[in-house]
Structure 1
Amino acid sequence: MSEPSTETAAPAPAEWSIPRGLIVLLSLAAAVVTIAGLKAFSSVVGPVFLALMLTIAVQPIQSWARRKGWPTWLGMALALVSVVAILFGIGGALALSAVQLASLLPQYADQLNDLLDHGRGWLSDLGVSSDQIHKALSGIDVGKAAGVIEQILGGVLGVFSNLFFVLALLLFMAVDGMTMDRRMAIVARERPAIAQALGNFVIGTRQYLVVSTVFGAIVAVIDGGALWAMGVPLPILWGLLSFITNYIPNIGFVIGVIPPALLALLDSGPVLMIWVIVVYSVINFVIQSIIQPKFVGDAVGLGVTITFLSLVFWAWVIGALGALLAIPLTLLVKALLFDIDPTTRWADVLIGAPMEKKTAPHKKSGKTVAVETAVDKE
């Protein structure tokens, strides 16, 4: 018998891996650099994403024209005309109303002076010294009050400041949209998970826009009618402002009530201002804080906390346009960071996605399998 071999197999080399803590630090550093870049180029990022969102909103027009057998260029033209009509309609109405407001406010100089006199007397009764009262109220006048309201409207009008840039982007995106279906079919064949993530972003954005537009129109009609019934000047402007601020989650109606409440104070005194605030709060709280979040949550799968944090974050990064686009921007980030990888879709549970099973391509076989995105229902 041969003697057993004394040689032992060489140990396999240990695989080197990056420590998890280092991965977290690198990810945070990359996030900081990305956010800083977005903030530095916010004047470009905002209009680009606005054009993308509008293109997504009108893409069904191109699909409808294609199903009708019409030429692709005709569907593109119809979609582009629809977007241009929306932009110029809202922008023109806001600009015209802002001009009317600027010409109306100087008429309330006497009312503002009376309010300031009452304010001085009330502060004196509370024991506030005359010097402190003078410092607190000396800088208030109709011109500055008009400036505050115009600044609020200017933030809304700022959305349309890069109108020609947005229109150019819309034209190019509409041209690309004529072949987007074929491109996405190729992506779905080569990278099914990516195609599904982008598809979820498009569907979620479109559903969010539909829900917000419908509820915004309802709120605008009710608010405008209530202001007209109470005799507040320029009810159409404030109804239009309610429609636009409805796209700002959680605090949109708070922004929308400030200008009409101030104008009601100047026009008829504090009683009318209180009525405006009460009516706005009741109408908008019921619609925007109770009814609408249910539909928005079902459409986009974002919780209330994530929605509010998205508003704060994107408004800080991009500005007023970021507040209007907070939900679609968050949906895009969610698609690129979580939905694009089946192994990270568990994060949907944490950010408030509906608890249901979704189908997603298996990362190895490429076949469609059920992926659990939430806790199993019993």
Structure 2
Amino acid sequence: MPPVSELDDVEAAARRERAAEIIRRSRFQPQTVCLLILAVLAVFYTLYFAAAIILPIVLALVVNLLLSAPMRVLHMRLRLPKTLAALLLILCLFGVVGAIGTAISVPAAGWIARAPQTMTAVQTRLALMHGPIQMIQAANERIENFLTVVSGEHRAAGAPVVVVASASPGGGLSSLGSSVLLGTRAFVGQAFTMMLMLFFLLAQGDSLLRRVVEIMPTFADKRRAVQIASQVERNISLYLTTITAINLLVGLANMLQCWVFGLPNPLLWGVVAFLLNYIPIIGPLTGILVYFVVSVIVLPSLLQALLPPLVYLGIHLLEGETITPMVLARRFTLNPVLVMGSLMFWDWLWGVWGAFLSVPLLAVFKIICDHVDVLTPIGHVVGGPNRARTVRSAILPRPGQLDE
């Protein structure tokens, strides 16, 4: 039997030949291309304007994939009814999130309340960098003034400029309070929608898939639908479970180093590291910056303040270069360039939740492309290298290494 690497090379070569053959046979008319572009734009506009209802559903689908293995254990092995098993899983998830949120809410609120004093202290401790920061601010002001002048030249002469002023001195504070209340209510509503959708997906998701397969016109279409669904569930579930376990280790390691260096509230900073590690590129960079700011405030010298962010970087280097490539399978990869593009796009579209979902959504897109003949070339482009990887730092994206 040939080695696994040779089998991977053979499969990759066959996939390349298949993609090239599809491109040779394809002849797209301009009308078809224009309609396709309009359809894609319509989908993106819908995702943007209907984010309040679509985002909770997508989050529920992803969490459903993460909980599919425990759900199978409860239903298949322990013989629990699906409704009861789904309810137990949601209660456990809600309990864990609630316990962690309760434990970190008080110190997090304290740090947020001290934010103005914190920034003043950071500026005082970083007095050596005051000159370069002022130069950057001055350059930024000059650019803004230049853009203002340029935009003023294009404005119609004599065009009235309307300035709306607040009538009451407390209008800014009241509007801020109103926006916070509205944001909290929207978040609670979306969380309830996600939990409700997650419950029905766990309890009745299989029956929905079965109904979809039954209406497929041919046996080949039925088999393709089953293959796509099973691979999406298996690969994304494996990816999310593995990454969650790795991120938990990263959070525990950072919590330990915060305790060793004497940073207050190590549980808070461990949870921050755990959550930020889900977001490629932006997450580790933000974590290093947060650890540096906290260290500058708490630790007595600037040299000591550099140690926690350096250890944070070292933990991510170890995780990104050793642990993740060893644990995750290497046959299913995503192109790092497209991972970064997906991150920026979904972050712009849906904010922080979009950044969390960027890699799983790109992986699902690749699985679908690999099983649809017309989209096979796109799936080949989305895939990453199969051979040895180049060295990547902790702040680079983890390609979605999944078992195909």
TM-score using structure 1 length: 0.70
1:349 aligns with 2:374: no
Percent of residue pairs identical: 21
CA separation in 1, counterparts of 2:193 and 2:53? Answer: 13
Q: How far does residue 222 in structure 1 lie from its aligned partner after superposition?
A: 1.2
Matches within 5 A, 1:46-57: 46-57=55-66
Residue 243 of structure 2 is aligned to residue 219 of structure 1: no
What letter matches 2:204 in structure 1? T
Q: Which runs of 5+ in 2 are unaligned?
A: 1-25, 142-182, 217-221, 388-403
For the 8 Å contact 1:65–1:74, the answer to whether it is kept is no
Hey, what does 1:329 align to over in structure 2?
A: 361
Specify which of 18, 21, 32 is matched with residue 30 of structure 2: 21
Residues 308-330 of structure 1 show CA distances to partners (whole Å, capped at 9, x for unaligned) of 22111110111111011111222
Q: 1:261, 1:273 within 8 Å by CA — same for their partners in 2?
A: yes
Give 1:93 shift: 4.1
Alignment of 1:299-318 (within 5 A): 301-318=333-350
Question: Structure 1: which 5+ runs fail to align?
Answer: 1-16, 136-157, 357-373
User: Which amino acid letter does the alignment assign opposite residue 275 of structure 1?
Assistant: L
Partner of 1:366: none
Indicate how the Cα distance of structure 1 residues 123 and 35 shifts in structure 2: closer, same or farther if over 3 A, else same. closer
Q: 1:329 to 1:341 in 2, by over 3 A?
A: same
When structure 1 is superposed on structure 2, of 89-98 and 40-49 the one drifting more is 89-98
Q: Distance in 1 between matches of 2:126 and 2:74?
A: 60
* Cα 1:309–1:108 shift into 2, 3 Å: closer
For the structure 1 residues 274 and 177, does the alpha-carbon distance in structure 2 shift closer, same or farther, using more than 3 Å as the test?
A: closer
Higher relative contact order (CA 8 A, sep 6+): 2
From the superposition, tell whether residues 258 and 123 of structure 1 become closer, same or farther in structure 2 (CA, over 3 Å).
closer
Partner of 2:40: 31
Equivalent residue number for residue 297 of structure 2: 266
Residue matched to 2:8 = none
Counterparts of 1:306 and 1:350, CA distance in 2:
9
Q: Structure 1 residues 96 and 296 mapped into 2: Cα distance closer, same or farther (>3 Å)?
A: farther
Answer whether contact 2:336 2:384 (CA < 8 A) is retained: no
Shift of 1:188: 4.3
Q: 1:72 aligns with which of 67, 82, 104?
A: 82
Structure 1 position 237, deviation (Å): 1.1
Contact 2:259 2:266 in 1 (8 A): yes
* 2:324 counterpart residue number: 292
Structure 1 or 2, whichever has the larger Rg, is 1
1:170 to 192, 195, 215: 195
Conserved 8 A contact 2:366-2:382: no
Contact 1:264-1:273 at 8 Å conserved across structures: yes
Structure 2 counterpart of 1:74, which letter? L
Cα distance, 1:76 vs structure 2: 1.9
CA distance in 1, matches of 2:273, 2:185: 17
Moved more, 342-351 or 305-314: 342-351
**What is the rounded CA distance, in whole Å, between the counterparts of 1:345 and 1:323 in structure 2?**
26
AA in 1 matched with 2:48: K
Cα deviation digits, residues 156-208 of structure 1 (max 9, x gap): xx899624433344334423433333443454464221222222222222112
Pairing 1:1-378 to 2, within 5 Å after superposition: 19-67=28-76, 68-102=78-112, 111-112=121-122, 114-115=124-125, 162-188=187-213, 190=216, 191-267=222-298, 268-288=300-320, 291-292=323-324, 295=327, 298=330, 301-336=333-368, 338-352=369-383
